[in-house]
Amino acid sequence: MAETLAVTDNLDALESEAIHIFREVAGEFDRPVILFSGGKDSTLLLHLALKAFWPAPVPFALLHVDTGHNFPEVIEFRDKVVAEHGLRLEVAHVQEWIDDGRLQERPDGTRNPLQTVPLLDSITAHKFDAVFGGGRRDEERARAKERIFSLRNAFGQWEPRRQRPELWNLYNGRHRPGEHVRVFPLSNWTELDVWHYIERENIELPQIYYAHQREVYLRDGMWLAEGPWGGPRDDEKLISKTVRYRTVGDGSCTGAVESTAATIADVIAEVAASRLTERGATRADDRMSEAAMEDRKREGYF
């Protein structure tokens, strides 16, 4: 009983903090946008935004940087949620940037790093001045020092030494024309907090977060699904496994984990006992080097 109470109090505090952040941004910025992929963190962000402004509609648009390497269930879910709440969704298709030569396909077929340019181009084109992301400080060491309001220069770059001290709950969102602020309302949540909250609020997620049968092949220690991103190679064999996804990103580098967790409660039990962090388990792009995330953040990635 005492344990349940602790979780509830903790979740109430995190929920209140996130709602406060959404309202600050609504009060101080002209054109905020929520990055929304249909994944669990962005679905949680939207859930909190809906609460922050109820009974009025969410006063922000949504933006999805679509690598084209999607899980169809997630896109279907994304569109359903958008329609349900009468929201406006902008989609930046990485494919368009590749087609007109602004970007080049990488030899390894991974499109996650290619999201940065379409993201920045969209921010500029739509004049977005605040961009909500679902990043959490517990995900990775470079993120542990991220601010809740993270200033980006006109090139979208994050400069560690220009980040402002954040005192009390007074956020400073001032920026020069062309600059924007990335805002992370889930900064202080852990992966387990996210799942406990999803359970408490009974938030619907795409089915791929729960155990299902899928044809997968093994690459670099991860179970990848077949798809337009060029797998499996001749030396890689497709096998049917019971799996689920802990994160949802570009299909070429988002791995499934073997799991029989079919419900939210199963997932919580699995996450609580897990020996791998979310990113380490399933995101090949974070494994590249010890400073991988720091480098990508400097380039303007989330």
| Residue 236 is a binding residue for other proteins (CB under 8 A) | no
Q: Which residues of 111-129 are buried (b: 16+ CB within 10 A; e: fewer)?
A: bbbbbbbbbbbbbeeeebb
- Report the half-sphere exposure of 30 (CA within 13 A, side-chain side): 12
Smallest gap from residue 191 Cβ to other proteins (A): 10
Q: Establish if 85 lies at the interface with other proteins (CB under 8 A).
A: no
Query: Which residues neighbour 301 within 8 Å (Cβ) at sequence distance 6 or greater?
Result: 113, 115, 116, 119
| Unique residue bearing structure tokens 């609504």 | 26
Nearer to other proteins, 168 or 213 (CB): 168
Closest CB 121 distance from other proteins, rounded Å: 24
Instruction: Return the number of the residue (69 or 136) whose C-beta is nearest other proteins.
Output: 136
Please state the closest distance from residue 66 (CB atom) to other proteins, in A: 28
Q: 66 or 191, CB closer to other proteins?
A: 191
Sequence-distant (≥ 6) Cβ neighbours of residue 116 within 8 angstroms: 156, 296, 299, 300, 301
For other proteins, the closer of residues 12 and 99 by Cβ is 12
| Distance, CA of 95 to CA of 100 (rounded, Å) | 9
188 binds other proteins (CB under 8 A): yes
Q: How far is the CB of 252 from other proteins (least distance, A)?
A: 20
Tell me the window of 20-28, 104-112, 117-125, 233-241 that interacts with other proteins (CB under 8 A).
Answer: 20-28
* 38-67: contacts with other proteins (CB under 8 A): 51-57
Contact between 19 and other proteins by CB under 8 A: the answer reads: yes
- Residue 98 beta carbon to other proteins: minimum distance, rounded to whole angstroms: 30
The site that binds other proteins (CB under 8 A) totals a number of residues, namely 58
257-286 residues in contact with other proteins (CB under 8 A) are: 274-277, 280-281
Q: Which is nearer to other proteins, 107 or 165 (CB)?
A: 165
Query: Mask 141-180, x = binds other proteins (CB under 8 A)?
Result: xx-xx--------------x--xxxxxxxx-x-xxx----
Which positions lie near other proteins, rule CB under 8 A? 2-3, 5-7, 9-10, 12-13, 15-17, 19-20, 23-24, 26-27, 51-57, 137-138, 141-142, 144-145, 160, 163-170, 172, 174-176, 187-188, 190, 192-193, 274-277, 280-281, 290-291, 294
